[in-house]
Amino acid sequence: QEQLAESGGGLVQPGGSLRLSCAASGFTSDNYAIAWFRQAPGKEREAVSCISASNVGTYFADSVKGRFTIFRDNAKKTVYLQMNSLRPEDTAVYYCATRKYYCSGFGSTYGSWGQGTQVTVSS
C-alpha cells in the first residue's frame, strides 16, 4: 500500500526557515512525481512545488520562487521542501502527494496524499 508521511512542520518567526520531509513507502518504483500543496484556513488548496520522476523538472508557485527549494533522495524515498524567508502568508497545512512521472498543478490528478503538517509563521 502506497503511503506518504509528512514531517518537519512547526512554528517559526517571519524570515525563518523550515525543512519539510515527505517519506514514501509501499512504492514499487521511483517513477513518480511528488508535489507539495498547502491549504490555509478559508482558502483553496494551492500547489506550492513539485519535482518530477528522475528529477527531470521542478515547479514552484510564483509566491514561493526564490525562497523554497525541492529535492529528493531516492535512496531514502524522501522528498524535501526547504522553505526559507518564511512569511506569515505561508502559514498553512502542507501536504505531499504523488502522481505518475510528471508534475501537475491539479490536485485531483494526484492519487496518494499524506496527512499534512502544520506550518505557522508568526512572531
SS3 89: helix
User: Where is pLDDT greater, at 56 or 38?
Assistant: 38
**pLDDT given for residue 107 in this prediction:** 87
Backbone angles phi, psi at 55, to 5 degrees: 55, 30
Average pLDDT of 40-44? 95
**Cβ neighbours of residue 4 under 8 Å, at least 6 residues apart?**
22, 23, 24, 25, 96, 97, 98, 112, 113, 114
Cell numbers that stand for 38 in this block = 498547502
pLDDT tens-digit series, residues 50-105: 999 888 889 999 999 999 999 999 888 999 999 999 999 999 999 999 999 999 88
Average pLDDT of 96-123? 94
